[in-house]
């Protein structure tokens, strides 16, 4: 007897919190899913609202990795489309590979749909740019060492020594250690830091602005103890700077395949105050 082919398990990035920030492709998969396993501790249940009436929906917050893998394999045996709905983007601080390996071993096909990371949502909520010309062109996504050790060369102090943008995940309860690492890496006490709690979550988002010296006390006062993105960057507050280096791409003296320069570079230099 020929066994039917298993359905596909789709790892879908639910985004940072607002259900409307899921991708169109992710929403389409939810709309036709026969089974959905969502990370209820981090993903709003509202993200499952587009599922069919007969879809089996389970919250994974009290499941182990082994439980989740077994559930996905079981559902793939009966459904053409199974969705594992993960917070943010599945490939960033998500248990993606740990769940994919058992599915591979069971012969279950897997695909991944990216999602909006909380790092991007936090910058958007605070109306901040993570990169600016002649300030920093580098963004480091990292975390403070906790129960999960950091590989050699990736301590926060070592990464902070680059003085580029740092998006620090999973570290709000270690904020004292975060600021100590920044100080040890040469960041001034007045260097700006912004912390965004539940970026994009309707009615739950909080934004706390401070400095390396003050941010821990401000976050303690705001009672932020979970789901908070820490951003330290030389670009923070640029919205209010009186001088700003502009992008060369849109410079009137810059020629590219869509536009010819309208002002010679030498004239632009002379005319610019």
| pLDDT on residue 273 | 42
**In sequence order, what are the residues at sequence separation of 6 or more whose Cβ sits closer than 8 angstroms to the Cβ of residue 90?**
11, 12, 13, 84, 96, 112, 113, 114, 115
Measure Cα distances from 67 to 63, 70, 73 in Å: 6, 5, 10
Domain at 8-116: CATH code: 3.40.1010.10
Let me know: does 23 contact 42? Beta carbons within 8 Å. Answer: no
What percentage of the chain has pLDDT greater than the value 70? 89
Closest CA to 207 of 166, 236, 182: 236
What distance in Å separates the CA atoms of residue 13 and residue 214, rounded to the nearest whole number? Answer: 34
Crossing angle of helices 96-105 and 65-76, rounded to 10°: 50
Task: Return the bridge partners of 196, or none.
Answer: 207, 229
What would the two tokens of residue 272 be? 């610019």
Measure Cα distances from 97 to 170, 174, 202 in Å: 19, 26, 30
pLDDT tens, position by position, 191-234: 999 999 999 999 999 999 999 999 999 999 999 999 999 999 99
Q: 119-240 has which fold?
A: 3.30.950
Closest CA to 131 of 167, 103, 158: 167
pLDDT in tens, the chain (273 residues): 445 678 999 999 999 999 999 999 999 999 999 999 998 888 888 889 999 999 999 999 999 999 999 999 999 999 999 999 999 999 999 999 999 999 999 999 999 999 999 999 999 999 999 999 999 999 999 999 988 889 999 999 999 999 999 999 999 999 999 999 999 999 999 999 999 999 999 999 999 999 999 999 999 999 999 999 999 999 999 999 999 887 766 666 666 666 666 666 555 554 444
| pLDDT on residue 2 | 46
Let me know: does 57 contact 36? Beta carbons within 8 Å. Answer: yes
Element (H, E) at 98: helix 96-105
Sign of the Cα pseudo-torsion (63, 69, 72, 78, in order): negative
Closest CA to 160 of 132, 131, 190, 191: 191
One-letter-per-residue 3-state SS of 5-16: CCCEEEEEECEC
Q: CA 48: distance to chain centroid?
A: 20
| pLDDT on residue 147 | 83
Element (H, E) at 219: helix 215-221
pLDDT tens, position by position, 93-106: 999 999 999 999 99
Domain range list for the chain: 8-116, 119-240, 245-273
**In sequence order, what are the residues at sequence separation of 6 or more whose Cβ sits closer than 8 angstroms to the Cβ of residue 106?**
6, 73
What distance in Å separates the CA atoms of residue 211 and residue 218, rounded to the nearest whole number? Answer: 10
Tell me the pTM.
0.88
């Amino acid at each position: 007897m020929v066994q039917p082919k298993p359905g596909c398990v789709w790892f879908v990035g639910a985004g940072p919190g607002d259900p409307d920030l899921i991708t169109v492709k992710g929403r389409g998969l939810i709309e036709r899913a026969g089974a959905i396993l969502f990370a209820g501790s981090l993903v709003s249940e509202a993200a499952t609202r587009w599922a069919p009436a007969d879809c089996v929906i389970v919250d994974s917050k009290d499941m182990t990795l082994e439980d989740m893998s077994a559930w996905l394999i079981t559902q793939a045996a009966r459904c053409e489309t199974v969705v594992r709905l993960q917070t943010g983007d599945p490939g960033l601080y998500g248990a993606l590979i740990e769940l994919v390996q058992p599915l591979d071993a069971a012969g279950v096909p897997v695909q991944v749909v990216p999602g909006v990371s909380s790092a991007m949502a936090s910058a958007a909520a605070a109306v901040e740019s993570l990169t600016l010309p002649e300030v920093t062109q580098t963004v480091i996504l990292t975390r403070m060492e906790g129960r999960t050790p950091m590989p050699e060369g990736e301590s926060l102090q070592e990464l902070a020594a680059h003085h580029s943008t740092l998006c620090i995940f999973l570290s709000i309860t270690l904020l004292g250690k975060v600021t100590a690492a920044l100080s040890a890496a040469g960041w001034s006490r007045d260097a700006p830091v912004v912390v965004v709690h539940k970026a994009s979550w309707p009615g739950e988002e909080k934004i706390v602005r401070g400095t390396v010296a003050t941010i821990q006390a401000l976050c303690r006062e705001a009672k932020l103890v979970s789901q908070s993105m820490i951003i330290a960057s030389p670009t923070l507050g640029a919205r209010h700077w009186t001088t700003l280096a502009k992008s060369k791409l849109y410079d009137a003296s810059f020629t590219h395949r869509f536009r010819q320069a309208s002002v010679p570079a030498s004239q632009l230099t002379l005319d610019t105050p």
